[in-house]
Amino acid sequence: ADSPLASDVEFKTFEFLAPVFSRLMDAESAHNLGVSLFANGLYPIERRERDNDRNNADASGEYAEMREMLRVTNVFNDGLMTFPNPIGLAAGFDKDAKTIQGMREIGFGFVEIGSVTPQPQDGNPKPRVFRLRELDAVINRYGFNSEGIERAKERLKKEKNRVAATVVDNKTEEKEESTTTTTTNVIAPIGVNLGKNKTTPESEAAKSYALGATELGPFADYLVINVSSPNTPGLRDLQKGSSLVKILRDVVNARDRLLVKEEKKKSLPVLVKIAPDVDEKGLKEIAKAVKKAKIDGVIISNTTIERNDRVQQHENGKEIGGLSGKPVFEKSTEVLRRFYELTDGSIPLVGCGGVFTGEDALKKIKAGASLVQLYTSFAYAGPALIPKVKRELYEALKREGFKNVNEAVGYDVKQRKKRNRFLFF
């Protein structure tokens, strides 16, 4: 059962089941069922990429090459965090840290939970999630439904202990076998996306995000400040000027205090997640604030409140909320590219919005993303999407002559710059 062949069968089974659940249930019920299945261990396991697996005949073959090409190192210039691959789960699916082990085991390169709010809150009234199936899109107005910091902390702590125990077991096993091979499987990092409660006034927002950083930081590999959800009144106003600088600085200060206190913890990057509905002036303001506060990275982007003609014509297209999926791909990728240009590639970026294929992922990477996240495509296609996207990305990198992911980051922007320089001369 613990062989690569078992993975083939399991992923195929879920590839068949995911669309069935999607058709039979409304969007939020299907989402809750997905979380419940993962929380209870009912998901396929990716065994084909293990590089120390005695059952894996391909351990030194094509999967080994794919693993090396997709591995991402030194994203945050600390040399401490390695991502097994650049395909991550965006915040929103696992709001309360219930599915981390499963998401790691199906092969995500990193997993972001949340948004987590300090106090538990129900979010907006139902119905609040709407499929636009023909457009591969979703509109949601969840409104930061969250079980709160304490529940998330319990689960994150449990997962941290599980991973620590697994690492010890693996080392013991290797010593007993007394072989020369060592375990080089990389464990997917965990991000914690921080939100604020609906009732928290703007004047208290910075304190609220800093509290999240202090409480959940010890159990995270990176933190995200979410000031871009369209579903909490006034939240996007926090992306502007002095409000943003204050929030970013307070969270960075909380992180710095935490690193002094937790001696074992060497690094905890802080990222900010922004909206795609930002004009050039707003983007420059955010870039300035990010540099000023010494933020480690930016996730581009959250959902959009804009609707193109096709979306507006859809029966669910006029619902209020954030639109995600294919219609946001071009827009979010353009904002990503522009931000990479504005910052000269000096700030690590995570591309998010409308990623359905490995080719989509590579477009984000070539526009400036060091890492890529998806969610809506996963909601539609289920776990089988993850090995598929990774395989497609690997093949696309090879086809375009890149040796690894790092080599492709910002490639389109750099090429455009070269052409412009040539034309100028």
Question: Position 221: which residue type?
Answer: D
Q: Tokens 């219930």 sit at which residue?
A: 98
Interstrand relation of 222-226 and 369-374 (parallel, antiparallel or unpaired) = unpaired
Establish whether 370 is a catalytic residue. no
- Taken in order 77, 81, 85, 86, the sign of the CA dihedral is negative
- The answer for residues whose C-beta is within 8 angstroms of residue 234's C-beta and 6 or more apart is 202
Q: Which of 229, 301, 332, 370 is catalytic?
A: 229
Burial (CB < 10 A; 0-12, 13-18, 19+), residue 334, is middle
Q: From CA 119, how far away is CA 369, in angstroms rounded?
A: 33
CB atoms within 10 A of CB 386: 24
Q: In what order do the strands lie in the sheet with 322-325?
A: 129-132, 137-140, 322-325
d(CA 19, CA 33): 13
Beta strands in 195-257 (DSSP E): 222-226
386 near 393, Cβ under 8 Å?
A: no
| Gap between the Cα atoms of 21 and 62, Å rounded | 33
E strand intervals along 241-348:
270-274, 297-300, 322-325
> What number of CA atoms fall less than 13 Å from residue 329's CA on the CB side?
21
State the catalytic residues: 229
